[in-house]
Structure 1
Amino acid sequence: MRLTRYFLPVLKETPAEAQIVSHRLMLRAGMIRQQAAGIYSWLPLGYKVLRRIEQIVHEEQMRTGHIPMLMPTIQPADLWRESGRYDAYGPEMLRIRDRHDRDMLFGPTNEEMITDIFRTHVNSYKDLPLTLYHIQWKFRDEVRPRFGVMRGREFLMKDGYNFDLTKEDALHAYNRHLVSYLRTYERMGLQAIPMRADSGPIGGDDTHEFLVLADTGESEVFYDSAVTDIRLGERQIDYDSVDQCRAVMEEFTALYARTDETHDQQAFDKIPEDRRRSARGIEVGQIFYFGTKYSDPMGATVQGPNGKPVPVHMGSHGIGVSRLLGAIIEASHDDNGIIWPEGVTPFHCGIVNLKQGDAEADTACEQIYAALVAKGLEPLYDDRDERAGGKFATMDLIGLPWRITVGPRGLKNGVVELTSRRTGESEELAPELAVNRIAEIYQAP
């Protein structure tokens, strides 16, 4: 993409309403525009990152054998009355009526609807286990929407639901989700710590939140610092293996890590003093096992091996897709702007032409651009007639991980400059070597 043909409405000044880093930088980088309190339009740059994050979530869900689908945003109230949650959920639910005066709602979550789909189409234990998920816009009428996409009213969420014959099978699904979420976050350049949490209106006794440590986090968390040293890395995971998923789950949850709602000071005091930590955290996902909480009242049963109806055991598993974008920025930025991890960057590389209109510089930039595209990469070429300082400031603000700088002086020596946004380190290379280096980083063909 050439910047002269792109829609990137960057701001030089920080809007007064932005209170935290991610909100400030998303507005300044032209990623979002507020349309109402807690409701945003996603402008092209923000939308590209959102889709990158969504794609990673899809890939990791399908890797585990989960099946994608899509449910509607508007739900009939009668389903929620069956489960008993219509009146219990609270004012965060946006309740509406259609033209026929029927009670409807803008879904904050989908346990009732997925249970209805299941009970309609699945009748035998032979069809289990089954996990269905979708990525869909939700609405929760927050009393104080703030911090940009971190606490909006409308948000993009992945929510998945497992159906199993026994509690043991459902707990394997729980562990499997925990492991797959760890992989998902690591691919985005994040370390999200699973912490024992409160189940809230979803219900159930077993639940973990995934939190990214950040000064601007809304939750107070308490943890053993050794937990931050654990990574999945390149481990090969067999998601069908009960023992392997349980072992990984136990490894990542054995050390103390709790949100403030479940914090146990006596247990915390048993940790060696030099490893006790309290901090702020940003919630980016949560998993639940709630047994037959929904299947019992809604009649979601299957014919068991003995021929008798058995209520299925269920769990739900959410990832805040749009919220993740803000969390990544909170965890990865500096005074100049965003620093995107390679896994979610909107463009793989920026190209800066230091002397637009110079025949040699223009030709070199076009050749580099074409070579990157030929390798399956998406570069952003700043071809504006703008001073060099302005171009560098824009690239730093929008946070592309790598920048190739092309100028007449370097070209006389047959080189361009390749710069890492994260470290600030630069290296002079022949143009074709710079292209190859970028392709190697992204493992492009």
Structure 2
Amino acid sequence: MFWSKIFLPTLKDTPQDAEVISHQLMLRAGMIRKVASGIYTWLPLGLRVLRKVENIVREEMNASGAQEVLMPMVQPKELWEETKRWKKMGPELLRIQDRHERDFCLGPTHEEVITDLIRNNVKSYKELPLNLYQIQTKFRDEVRPRYGVMRGREFLMKDSYSFDLNEESLQKSYMKMRDTYKNIISRVGLEFKIVKADSGAIGGDASEEFHVLAENGEDTIAVSNGSEFAINTELLLKKGEDLNSLEGKPSPDGKGVIQIKKGIEVGHIFQLGRVYSDAMGSNVLNHEGKKENLLMGCYGIGVSRLVAAAIEQNNDKNGIIWPESIAPYEVNIVAIGFDKDEKITKAALSLYEDFLSMGYEVILDDRKDGYGTKMKDAELIGIPMNVIIGKNYIEKKEIELKHRDGQSSIGTLEDIKTIFEHFKNK
């Protein structure tokens, strides 16, 4: 892709309504644009990142044995009344009517729809265990949308639902999803903690949250410096205590001491038990031929929120520093004097074609701007590797390879090609 051809409206100044770093940088880097409060259009650069996160999620879910489905975003009132959540959800549930004045809602989650699907189509214990997932747009009418896509009203989410006959099988399904989520966030390239949590409006017997550690996190969590122990501070504080009283205390698991961190919740897994299957009559015939209500698990991960969380954890004063696994492009060729100097133009195009043939995702900055403008934009959008071809190539045949993290090296055209061949073959 040539920079002059991509729709990439970067901004020099930070919009006044952008409160946190991820929101500021996503707007400035031309990744998103606001349509309404908590609702955004994803532009080409942002969508490339979003799709990479989505692909990682899909690959890991498929590897776990889960099967992908796609359920409707619009859901009938009748299903929600079965679980008594039509009123319980309150104004967060966006209710609508069709032309026949029948009531529907825009789905914030899909427990009712998936339970209805299973009760009508799964009849025997021999069909279990079963785990179905989808990656789909959700809508929750947040009272105060903020922080860009991190706390929007419309967002992309992966939600999955497991169905088992007994507690032992449910525990296996739950732990498999727990490991899958660890794989997903690790592949994205983020530091995170698994936090004991409250099940909230979803319900169920046990739940854990996955928090990406970041200074602008909405949640305050207590973590051990000697183990994986982590818990939401609200669940650890005793009456009358404050956060300062927790810092430095022995960890409840007996390993290390407590440290207070900020986290961004990107995933939440639940052992629902029979909350929904009892309410909706979802059962199968067991080994004895008797009807038995199913045990369910529910597992959500915010695909669009992971993009924002990655930026919150990986940035500097100049812009985004993408983890390589989700960078919109792998290589940015910064050609200073493209179409003005024949040697620079020829070298840039040669590298561009070679990188493409090696299998790299590459963007060529062919704009007429100078070095300062091009490098500011390169640092802003955060592509991991920048190949700079300019005056030094004309005078000394030298090309600079500059990594987004600040490391740089000098080499010839052939040196650079060899380096990238080595990267690809690792």
TM-score norm. by structure 1 comes to 0.90
Say if 1:377 and 1:439, in contact at 8 Å, map to a contact too: no
Q: How does 1:333-412 map to 2 (within 5 A)?
A: 333-356=315-338, 357-410=340-393, 412=395
Q: Distance in 1 between matches of 2:287 and 2:85?
A: 32
Tell whether 2:230 aligns with 1:257. yes
Q: Distance in 1 between matches of 2:397 and 2:5?
A: 29
**CA apart distance, 1:167:** 1.1
Q: Distance in 1 between matches of 2:107 and 2:425?
A: 40
**CA apart distance, 1:180:** 0.7
Flag the 1:182–1:440 CA change in 2: closer, same or farther, 3 A: farther
Q: Which residue matches 1:288?
A: 270
Note the alpha carbon deviations across 1:73-101, whole angstroms, 9 max, x for none. Answer: 10001011111211111210001111111
**CA apart distance, 1:213:** 1.3
1:415 counterpart letter in structure 2: E
Bigger shift: residues 264-273 or 294-303: 264-273
Note the alpha carbon deviations across 1:213-258, whole angstroms, 9 max, x for none. Answer: 111111111110234xxxxxxxxxxxxxxxxxxxxxxxxxxx4310
Say if 1:133 and 1:160, in contact at 8 Å, map to a contact too: yes
Note the alpha carbon deviations across 1:97-136, whole angstroms, 9 max, x for none. Answer: 1111111000000000001111111101101111000000
1:338 counterpart letter in structure 2: I
Flag the 1:119–1:264 CA change in 2: closer, same or farther, 3 A: same
**CA apart distance, 1:410:** 2.9
2:356 counterpart letter in structure 1: V
> Gaps spanning 5+ residues in structure 2: where?
none
Q: Distance in 2 between matches of 1:378 and 1:406?
A: 18
2:322 counterpart letter in structure 1: W
Note the alpha carbon deviations across 1:26-45, whole angstroms, 9 max, x for none. Answer: 00001100000000000111
Q: Distance in 2 between matches of 1:5 and 1:377?
A: 18
Q: Distance in 1 between matches of 2:147 and 2:63?
A: 33
**CA apart distance, 1:274:** 7.2
Say if 2:344 and 2:393, in contact at 8 Å, map to a contact too: no
Flag the 1:139–1:262 CA change in 2: closer, same or farther, 3 A: same
**CA apart distance, 1:395:** 0.2
Q: Which residue matches 1:58?
A: 58
1:152 match: secondary structure? coil
Q: Which residue matches 1:314?
A: 296
Say if 1:342 and 1:442, in contact at 8 Å, map to a contact too: no
Q: Which residue matches 2:8?
A: 8
Note the alpha carbon deviations across 1:317-360, whole angstroms, 9 max, x for none. Answer: 00100011100000000000000010000001100012222101
Q: Distance in 2 between matches of 1:69 and 1:309?
A: 26
Instruction: Identify which of 394, 399, 417 aligns with 1:435.
Output: 417
Bigger shift: residues 408-417 or 107-116: 408-417
**CA apart distance, 1:443:** 4.9
Note the alpha carbon deviations across 1:369-389, whole angstroms, 9 max, x for none. Answer: 001111121111100000100
Instruction: Identify which of 217, 227, 250 aligns with 1:270.
Output: 250
1:76 counterpart letter in structure 2: P
Q: CA RMSD in A?
A: 1.7
> Gaps spanning 5+ residues in structure 1: where?
228-254
Flag the 1:90–1:438 CA change in 2: closer, same or farther, 3 A: farther
Flag the 1:168–1:374 CA change in 2: closer, same or farther, 3 A: same
Q: Distance in 1 between matches of 2:369 and 2:208?
A: 49
1:298 counterpart letter in structure 2: M
Q: Distance in 2 between matches of 1:190 and 1:439?
A: 26
Q: Distance in 1 between matches of 2:14 and 2:23?
A: 10
**CA apart distance, 1:434:** 2.1
Q: Distance in 2 between matches of 1:207 and 1:443?
A: 41
Note the alpha carbon deviations across 1:169-202, whole angstroms, 9 max, x for none. Answer: 1111111111111110111110221110011111
Say if 1:197 and 1:261, in contact at 8 Å, map to a contact too: no
Say if 1:82 and 1:297, in contact at 8 Å, map to a contact too: yes
**CA apart distance, 1:438:** 3.3
1:343 match: secondary structure? helix
Say if 1:195 and 1:210, in contact at 8 Å, map to a contact too: yes
**CA apart distance, 1:436:** 4.0
Q: How does 1:125-164 map to 2 (within 5 A)?
A: 125-164=125-164
Q: Which residue matches 2:116?
A: 116
Note the alpha carbon deviations across 1:389-442, whole angstroms, 9 max, x for none. Answer: 0000000000001111112423544431111102x1111123243234335435
Number of residues of Structure 1 aligned to a counterpart in Structure 2:
416
Q: Distance in 2 between matches of 1:206 and 1:287?
A: 8
1:5 match: secondary structure? coil
Flag the 1:156–1:436 CA change in 2: closer, same or farther, 3 A: farther
Q: Distance in 2 between matches of 1:439 and 1:67?
A: 36
Say if 1:349 and 1:438, in contact at 8 Å, map to a contact too: no
**CA apart distance, 1:279:** 1.9
Q: Which residue matches 1:218?
A: 218
Percent identity of equivalent pairs = 45
Say if 2:75 and 2:106, in contact at 8 Å, map to a contact too: yes
